[in-house]
Structure 1
Amino acid sequence: MSFRYPFIIALLFLVILSCEDSKSKSTKTEKQKIELQKEKERKRDSLLKAVKIPKGGNNFSVDLTKIENLQQEQLIPFLTQYGKENPETLVEISTSFGNIKVKLYKNTPLHRANFIRLVKMGYFDTSFFHRVAKDFVIQGGNSDLQETHEVRHQVGSYLIPNEFKAENTHQRGAFSAAKYSEQNISKASSPFEFFIVQGKNGAHHLDNDHTVFGKVIRGMDVVDKIAQVEVDQSEWPKKNITMKIKVLR
Structure 2
Amino acid sequence: MKQLTAFLFFTIFSIQGIAQERPQIEIQTNYGTMVLELYNETPLHRDNFLKLIEDKVYDSLIFHRVIEDFMIQAGDTESKNAKPGESVGEHDLPYQVPAEIRPNIFHKKGSLGAARTNNPERASSSTQFYIVQGKIQNDSLLTHNQNRINTYLQRHFAINDTTIKPLYDSLENAREAKDSVLVKTLSDKLESQVKSFENFQKYEIPAAHKEVYENIGGTPHLDQSYTVFGQVISGLEVVDAIAAVETNEKDRPETDVIILKMRIVHTPIP
Task: Answer yes or no: same fold by TM over 0.5.
Answer: yes
2:56 equivalent to 1:122: yes
Which residue does the alignment assign to 1:92? 26
| Candidates 223, 227, 237, aligned match of 1:207 | 223
Which residue does the alignment assign to 2:128? 193
Question: Which secondary structure state, in structure 2, belongs to the residue aligned with residue 123 of structure 1?
Answer: coil
2:155 equivalent to 1:221: no
Question: Which secondary structure state, in structure 2, belongs to the residue aligned with residue 176 of structure 1?
Answer: strand
Question: Which secondary structure state, in structure 2, belongs to the residue aligned with residue 126 of structure 1?
Answer: coil
- In the TM superposition, residue 97 of structure 1 has moved relative to its aligned partner by 1.2
Q: Is contact 2:22-2:37 (8 Å) kept?
A: no
Q: Is contact 1:134-1:227 (8 Å) kept?
A: yes
**Which structure's relative contact order is higher, taking Cα pairs within 8 Å and 6+ residues apart?**
2
Question: For 1:100 and 1:165, how far apart are their aligned partners in 2?
Answer: 24
Partner deviation per Cα, 1:140-177 (whole Å, 9 max, x = no partner): 11253459x9xx78xx5211110011111001111100
Which residue does the alignment assign to 1:11? none
Partner deviation per Cα, 1:8-41 (whole Å, 9 max, x = no partner): xxxxxxxxxxxxxxxxxxxxxxxxxxxxxxxxxx
Question: Which secondary structure state, in structure 2, belongs to the residue aligned with residue 125 of structure 1?
Answer: coil
Which residue does the alignment assign to 1:246? 263
Query: Would you say how many aligned residue pairs link Structure 1 and Structure 2?
Result: 156
Question: For 1:145 and 1:221, how far apart are their aligned partners in 2?
Answer: 24
Question: For 1:204 and 1:146, how far apart are their aligned partners in 2?
Answer: 33
- In the TM superposition, residue 180 of structure 1 has moved relative to its aligned partner by 1.2
Which residue does the alignment assign to 2:165? none
Question: Are the structure 2 counterparts of residues 106 and 227 from structure 1 closer, same or farther at C-alpha, using a change threshold of 3 Å?
Answer: same
Question: Which secondary structure state, in structure 2, belongs to the residue aligned with residue 113 of structure 1?
Answer: helix
Which residue does the alignment assign to 1:170? 107
Q: Is contact 1:98-1:222 (8 Å) kept?
A: yes
Question: Which secondary structure state, in structure 2, belongs to the residue aligned with residue 107 of structure 1?
Answer: coil
Partner deviation per Cα, 1:39-58 (whole Å, 9 max, x = no partner): xxxxxxxxxxxxxxxxxxxx
Question: For 1:127 and 1:106, how far apart are their aligned partners in 2?
Answer: 26
What is the TM-score of this pair, normalised by structure 2?
0.55
Q: Is contact 1:198-1:223 (8 Å) kept?
A: yes
**What letter corresponds to residue 194 of structure 1 in structure 2?**
F
* Residues 1-249 of structure 1 mapped to structure 2, 5 A cutoff: 89-142=23-76, 143-146=78-81, 156-181=93-118, 184-200=119-135, 201-243=217-259, 244-249=261-266
**What letter corresponds to residue 191 of structure 1 in structure 2?**
S
Question: For 1:218 and 1:144, how far apart are their aligned partners in 2?
Answer: 25
Partner deviation per Cα, 1:44-74 (whole Å, 9 max, x = no partner): xxxxxxxxxxxxxxxxxxxxxxxxxxxxxxx
Q: Is contact 1:119-1:245 (8 Å) kept?
A: yes
* Structure 2, unpaired ranges of 5+: 1-20, 83-87, 136-216
Q: Is contact 1:88-1:116 (8 Å) kept?
A: no
Partner deviation per Cα, 1:75-122 (whole Å, 9 max, x = no partner): xxxxxxxxxxxx971000001111010000001000000000000000
Question: For 2:75 and 2:242, how far apart are their aligned partners in 1?
Answer: 15
Question: For 1:178 and 1:195, how far apart are their aligned partners in 2?
Answer: 7
Identity of matched residues, %: 39
Question: For 1:175 and 1:193, how far apart are their aligned partners in 2?
Answer: 11
Q: Is contact 1:88-1:247 (8 Å) kept?
A: no
Question: Are the structure 2 counterparts of residues 88 and 203 from structure 1 closer, same or farther at C-alpha, using a change threshold of 3 Å?
Answer: closer
Question: For 1:177 and 1:222, how far apart are their aligned partners in 2?
Answer: 19
RMSD: 2.0
**What letter corresponds to residue 187 of structure 1 in structure 2?**
R
Partner deviation per Cα, 1:190-247 (whole Å, 9 max, x = no partner): 0111101101331111111110000000100010000111100010011111111100
Question: Are the structure 2 counterparts of residues 90 and 204 from structure 1 closer, same or farther at C-alpha, using a change threshold of 3 Å?
Answer: same
Question: For 1:221 and 1:146, how far apart are their aligned partners in 2?
Answer: 27
Structure index of larger Rg: 1
* Structure 1, unpaired ranges of 5+: 1-86
